[in-house]
Every structure is written in C-alpha cells, then in structure tokens.
C-alpha cells in the first residue's frame, strides 16, 4: 500500500503528540526548544541519508511510498526525522519528570567513552562496508563527545529513553525492513540482523536520538530550564 510509510510516521507521533498537552507533562510548552534541535539534527541526517541513498547503501520501495520526492528522498523520509525524534524526546521529558532516582552509576559515562573509542577505531577495519563504517565512525565520535559534554544524570536519562524506544522501534523498523519499505544493500553492511532489522540500524537510531536530545538540552540550558518534578 502506497500510504504504508506515511501511516507508520503518523502512528509513531500520534500518542506522544496527543499526550504532549497533558498538564503534568506539558511537553508542548517545550516545542520552542525541540524545533531548533530537530531542524539541525534533521539536516545532518538527511544529508547523510541523501549520500547513502545515492551511493546505493539503501533504496526505497515505491510500492509503500506516495511518490513525492525531494533530492531523491521520499517525503516520508523527511517526516521520519521529525516523528521519531519527537516521540523519543517526549519519552525523554517524561522520564525526567517521573524518574526521580538515579538508576546507573556515574561510571557509565566512562564505560561509553571507552566503547565509543573502540567503535571509532573498529570502523577503519570495516571501511568497505559503507553503512557499518559510517555508523561506527560517526557514532563513535558522537557518543564520545556526548559522554564528555552531557552530565551523568542526563546521559543516564538518554540511555533509559533509548532502551524504552527500542520497543516501538522493533515494530516500526521491523515493518520498514520486513515489507520492505527500505531495501538494504547487504554488501554495505555486515549482514547481521535482529529479525529483519540490520544491527547497524540500532546504532543509527541511538545517534539520531542522542543528537536531538543533546541539542534539545543545549537549547533548554540556554533558557535556564531545569529538570521538572512531579507535582505534589
């Protein structure tokens, strides 16, 4: 069905958008911080997406898109970089509100610093796999910077948010790769999949979420916004 990808975008944002107006969560009041963060993130990932599509790392199945394209990318792909970060940032804000206790030790940042460095170095051994190389190279650098700049508390909340987001990701991305809406060139990845989802997609999703939340926090910090607490 040609509306499949469009409907998946609508499904992704529907509940977070509806619940953004709940008084306790009040996420709609933070749109002014989300929008600039999302614009920067979307531009970065769309440029990356454009080159990966042009290079043949993946392509889009015309059976499941409405056919409107810009720079070779379907309009649904542009929406993807709005709906997914919106839903995940909503989850992040909800966690900041309701999760009062620290769940992880501060050392988790150091652990991810080491993992980031290993991933960055490992990317050079997989240079011939364009998708694998790029997520390890860019992801390694991105996580290294984030582990240095984000506070231990914020980094923990990001990890919790990402862990929760994996559940809807398995459904949405499972459909995108299972139908498939997005067709991967297996010569450009290591060929290991969880269900129908290339393992690289999990790091790609983490990077998308990390960049958006990092910039979102930066916007909030500029405005002097602190962590909300649950009203008594």
Peptide bond into 180 cis (omega under 30): yes
Give per-residue pLDDT as tens, 196-230.
999 999 999 999 999 999 999 989 888 777 544 43
Quote the pLDDT of residue 232: 34
pTM of the model: 0.90
Quote the pLDDT of residue 226: 56
| DSSP state string for 65-116 | S-S-EETTEEHHHHHHHHHHHHHHHHHHHHHHHH--S--S-THHHHHHHHHH
- Rounded to whole angstroms, the Cα distance separating 58 from 182 reads 7
- Rounded to whole angstroms, the Cα distance separating 198 from 70 reads 25
Q: What tokens appear for 90 in the block?
A: 């909503």
> pLDDT averaged over consecutive 10-residue blocks of the chain (232 residues)?
94 95 91 96 96 94 95 96 96 89 74 87 94 94 84 86 93 94 95 95 94 92 63 36
Cβ atoms within 10 A of the Cβ of 155, count? 23
Quote the pLDDT of residue 25: 87
Quote the pLDDT of residue 230: 38
The residue with tokens 């839903």 is 87
- Rounded to whole angstroms, the Cα distance separating 115 from 106 reads 15
Phi, psi of 112 (to 5 degrees): -70, -25
Q: Computed from CA positions of residues 46, 202, 160, 114, in that sequence, does the dihedral angle turn out positive or negative?
A: negative
């Amino acid at each position: 069905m040609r509306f499949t990808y469009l409907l998946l975008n609508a499904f992704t944002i529907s509940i977070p958008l509806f619940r953004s107006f709940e008084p306790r969560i009040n996420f709609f009041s933070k749109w002014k911080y989300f929008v600039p963060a999302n614009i920067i993130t979307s531009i970065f990932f769309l440029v990356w997406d454009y080159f990966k599509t042009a290079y043949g790392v993946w392509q889009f199945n015309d059976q499941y898109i409405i056919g409107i394209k810009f720079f070779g990318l379907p309009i649904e792909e542009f929406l993807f970089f709005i709906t997914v970060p919106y839903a995940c940032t909503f989850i992040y804000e909800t966690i900041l509100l309701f999760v009062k206790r620290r769940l992880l030790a501060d050392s988790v940042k150091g652990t991810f610093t080491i993992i980031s460095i290993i991933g960055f170095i490992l990317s050079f051994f997989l240079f011939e796999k364009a998708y694998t190389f790029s997520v390890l190279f860019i992801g390694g650098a991105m996580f290294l910077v984030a582990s240095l700049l984000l506070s231990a508390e914020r980094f923990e909340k990001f990890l919790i948010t990402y862990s929760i987001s994996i559940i809807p990701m398995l459904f949405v991305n499972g459909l995108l790769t299972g139908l498939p809406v997005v067709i991967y060139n297996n010569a450009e990845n290591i060929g290991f999949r969880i269900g129908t989802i290339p393992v690289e997609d999990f790091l790609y999703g983490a990077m998308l979420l990390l960049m958006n939340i990092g910039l979102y926090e930066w916007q909030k910090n500029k405005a002097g916004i602190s962590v909300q607490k649950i009203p008594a």
